[in-house]
Amino acid sequence: MSSSDAMAGTVNGGISFWYAQTGLPVPREPLAGDASADVVIVGGGYTGLWTAYYLKKAAPDLRIVVLEQKFCGYGASGRNGGWLYNGVAGRDRYARLHGREAAVRLQRAMNETVDEVVRVAGEEGVEADIHRGGVLEVACTPAQLSRLRAFHEHERAYGEDDRELYGARETAERIRVADAVGSTWTPHGARLNPVKLVTGLAAVVERLGVTVHELTPVTEIRPRQAVTPYGTVRAPHVLRCTEGFTANLRGQRRTWLPMNSSMIATAPLTAGQWAAIGWEGRETLGDMAHAYMYAQRTADDRIALGGRGVPYRFGSRTDNDGRTQAATIEALYEILVRFFPSLAGVRVDHAWSGVLGVPRDWCATVTLDRSTGLGWAGGYVGSGVATTNLAARTLRDLVLRDSGQAGSTELTSLPWVNHRVRKWEPEPLRWAGVQGMYATYRAADRREAASNKGESSRLARVADRVAGRH
């Protein structure tokens, strides 16, 4: 079977494969007119729902309203790769700005966050296909192996004493990735079904008494006001939890860049196919390429695999219900077959795309402006499944402190709190820079594969400087 045959019946878009399993939700009622609350949360994804959850659990009398433009989980929370893991964007920069110990505290909090999500899901009866297999990241070239070893030691220096480094044989004992020469594994990770998590959270917060209005786009956020076409909600605290859709808000076009990420899901694999691959531990799987991939073995025995397709759309536009380009689907399929040659010809059942939020310095942040009551969290750069939970608990503590219901906490002193960064460049510089950056990363990967040298391509360092990562 050719690759075109494998993709002949592929569903393209429809939000994501995860919704193909559950069906799209029936949206909740939109806002009916002007309203008031103690806290209004803009965005019904993980950040907004977790924030509503923790605020309501801490202060049950708070009147909390969540406003969502489509339905809860329409954005990245319903389209991601289901990686619940301990990565956080910007940690090294925070170490430079605030000292190593502050960054270690942030990393420790992220390690604990994986446990927290699993705990709350179990306690609240949210069945999200969570399996704690850890995270395995592989190297397939000498240059990748050098980066992997450096990455492994770097993570251990931030306190991950339980991280393990494997050679080719030990890697194959976990997952038989073609040409893998080594890997690093951390137990601080789990696979999950992202839609089951977000829909479960939405049901939990409603059960707690939070008001959720869907089909209610917020067009502008002002001090103590969230403006919609149907009315304005006024509250002492207005929290922006919009991640990759932030650019749609008035005045926010250049705040966070909506970076595109795309995925495919195969048909369920046979027992024989799994026997050839291994993957009994159901680890989440990534690699050390500059234009990296990420994957999971789903609860129904498919492979869901993602990576960068068209990384950015001119003018910070977002996609149309997850539809992605044919060339991107083909590229992801090529990665799948390169990793697992025995799967050549396997059917691709679904392909989709979504956007994630990228600040100019690639640092996730949590902020509350006490003078205006405006708060926000995000810029997770693709590591949001767990980071949203830590961000939400931090927003909770900031709001409670600001309203006089609590004092400072360990979370409010983390180095990402109230971090500010400059805006992205105007167009067309923004579009040209991002397109050039990822073209350079892909060229660096090709050059490393061809050279077989144990050092990273200089092209990747050029792309890092353009990106502002260092």
CB neighbours of 124 closer than 8 A, spacing ≥ 6? 200, 204
Q: Is the bond preceding 428 in cis, omega lying within 30 degrees of 0? A: yes
What residue ranges in 320-410 does DSSP mark as E strands?
348-358, 365-369, 374-378
Which parts of the chain have pLDDT scores under 50? 1
pLDDT digits (tens, 9 = 90+) for 214-237: 999 999 999 999 999 999 999 999
Question: For residue range 158-195, what is the model confidence (pLDDT) as tens digits?
Answer: 999 999 999 999 999 999 999 999 999 999 999 999 99
Contact call for residues 342 and 287 (beta carbons, < 8 A) = no
Residues in the chain: 470
The H or E element containing residue 213 is: strand 211-213
Burial class (CB in 10 A: 0-12, 13-18, 19+), 284: buried
Rounded to two decimals, the pTM is: 0.94
E strand or H helix at 165, and its extent? strand 164-167
Strand arrangement, sheet containing 231-234: 35-36, 231-234, 225-228, 220-222
Q: Which of 143, 139, 147, 152 is CA-nearest to residue 183? A: 139
Residue-level pLDDT at 462: 65
**pLDDT at res. 312:** 61
Instruction: Give the model's pLDDT for residue 452.
Output: 73
- For 114-141, b/e burial (b = at least 16 CB within 10 A) is beebbebbeebebebbbbbbbbbbbbbb
The β-bridge relationship of strands 135-139 and 284-287 is: parallel
Q: Are 181 and 140 in contact (CB under 8 A)?
A: yes
**Three-state SS for 275?**
helix
**pLDDT score recorded for residue 3:** 61
Q: What pLDDT was estimated at residue 447?
A: 79
Q: Given this model, what pLDDT does residue 311 score?
A: 67
Edge to edge, what strands does the sheet with 348-358 contain?
11-12, 348-358, 257-266, 303-307, 293-297, 284-287, 135-139, 182-186, 164-167
Determine the Cα–Cα distance for residues 77 and 353; give it in Å rounded to an integer.
12
CB distance 64 to 248 below 8 Å: no
Residues sharing a CB contact under 8 Å with residue 308, sequence separation 6 or more, in sequence order: 259, 260, 261, 262, 291, 438
